[in-house]
């Protein structure tokens, strides 16, 4: 609710003599204000344009390729698993996403707590180790993982497949979790925890009763980010998946001969589910905020 206070003028301006801009100036300002908003709405429409195409073409009564509009049908929505491989790949993606998200979120949160709350030897080296994976092109990471899996891990019986996908996804999600959760921990007022300790809470009690609930929104945000990164990853997955297929890989392979509309149904449904979840979380948090206010 701090968001609305920004647009209102600060109270201190009443001390200085009021400055009334001329009508022309005001019109200019009005135009400038709305120019930004109009541009913003156009950019948002641009962001949604391909999503709209994905939606519309999920109803396309297509033959071999789903490229040109040929007529309306409900068929693909009635049986989204009707094309071979599409739902199997979706299940794989969901499994990979959930496992990677859980592991990366736990490991990343532990790291974030150490990075923000402790000073230790090797802290700046760890900082570099966390930052560099985010600055490395995915294709380089994928290539590096492929070489180690094929030339190293294969010797100890780990072959390309589900496991190697999960290992890789945890790796590239980890840094994003650390950064997201660290930001949340940094924004906490350390005096709240000090107060808990002053009230004779043990360090464990302080963590679980005070710190953890306060950083939970940051952890939830990080988990959502990790899941969406994992679910949508193609480039690294393509290198390390072997014969296993994830949803993005299925779509990419299918794109050579035309993506079946069932994939559009699933892609758009994921979009709707995710948006509902995000909006739901927003509503819950704003309800909670208003409950505390009253």
- The neighbour count for residue 5, using CB atoms within 10 Å, is 8
Work out whether 15 is an interface residue with other proteins (CB under 8 A): no
Using CB under 8 A as the binding rule, the residues of this chain from 70 to 89 that contact other proteins are none
Closest separation between CB of residue 8 and other proteins, Å?
10
Binding residue (CB under 8 A) for other proteins from 78, 124, 151, 155:
151
**What is the distance between the alpha carbons of residues 235 and 53, in angstroms, rounded to a whole number?**
23
**What is the distance between the alpha carbons of residues 94 and 165, in angstroms, rounded to a whole number?**
12
Work out whether 91 is an interface residue with other proteins (CB under 8 A): no
Work out whether 6 is an interface residue with other proteins (CB under 8 A): yes
**What is the distance between the alpha carbons of residues 153 and 159, in angstroms, rounded to a whole number?**
7
Work out whether 199 is an interface residue with other proteins (CB under 8 A): no
Nearest to 229 by CA among 133, 112, 126: 133
Which tokens hold the place of 21? 């801009």
Using CB under 8 A as the binding rule, the residues of this chain from 253 to 292 that contact other proteins are 255, 259, 263-264, 267-268, 270-271, 273-275, 278-279, 282
Closest separation between CB of residue 30 and other proteins, Å?
11
Among the candidate windows 79-87, 94-102, 183-191, 209-217, which touches other proteins by CB under 8 A? 183-191
Binding residue (CB under 8 A) for other proteins from 111, 165, 185, 223:
111
Going from the C-alpha of 169 to that of each of 80, 96, 111, 151, 228, the distances in angstroms are 26, 8, 17, 20, 11
Binding residue (CB under 8 A) for other proteins from 247, 260, 261, 262:
247
Nearest to 230 by CA among 172, 162, 145, 178: 172
Q: Cβ(239)–Cβ(146) under 8 Å? A: yes
Closest separation between CB of residue 190 and other proteins, Å?
5
Work out whether 168 is an interface residue with other proteins (CB under 8 A): yes
Closest separation between CB of residue 121 and other proteins, Å?
7
């Amino acid at each position: 609710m701090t968001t609305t206070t920004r647009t209102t003028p600060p109270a201190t301006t009443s001390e200085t003599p009021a400055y009334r801009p001329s009508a022309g100036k005001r019109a200019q300002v009005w135009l400038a204000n709305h120019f930004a908003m109009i541009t913003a709405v156009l950019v948002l429409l641009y962001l949604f344009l391909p999503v709209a195409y994905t939606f519309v073409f999920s109803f396309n009564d297509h033959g071999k390729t789903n490229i040109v509009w040929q007529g309306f049908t409900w068929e693909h929505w009635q049986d989204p698993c009707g094309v071979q491989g599409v739902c199997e790949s979706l299940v794989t993606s969901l499994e990979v996403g959930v496992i990677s998200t859980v592991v990366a979120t736990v490991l990343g949160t532990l790291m974030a707590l150490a990075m923000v709350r402790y000073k230790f030897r090797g802290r700046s080296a760890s900082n570099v180790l966390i930052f560099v994976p985010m600055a490395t092109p995915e294709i380089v990471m994928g290539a590096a993982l492929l070489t180690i899996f094929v030339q190293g891990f294969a010797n100890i019986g780990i072959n390309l497949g589900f496991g190697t996908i999960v290992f890789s996804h945890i790796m590239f999600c980890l840094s994003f979790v650390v950064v997201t959760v660290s930001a949340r921990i940094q924004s906490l007022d350390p005096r709240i925890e000090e107060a808990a300790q002053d009230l004779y809470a043990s360090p464990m009690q302080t963590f679980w009763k005070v710190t953890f609930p306060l950083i939970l929104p940051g952890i939830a945000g990080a988990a959502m980010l990790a899941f969406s990164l994992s679910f949508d990853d193609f480039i690294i997955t393509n290198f390390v998946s072997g014969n296993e297929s994830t949803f993005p890989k299925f779509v990419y392979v299918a794109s050579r001969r035309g993506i079946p509309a069932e994939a559009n149904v699933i892609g758009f449904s994921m979009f709707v589910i995710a948006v509902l979840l995000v909006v739901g979380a927003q509503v819950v948090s704003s309800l909670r905020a208003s409950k505390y206010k009253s």
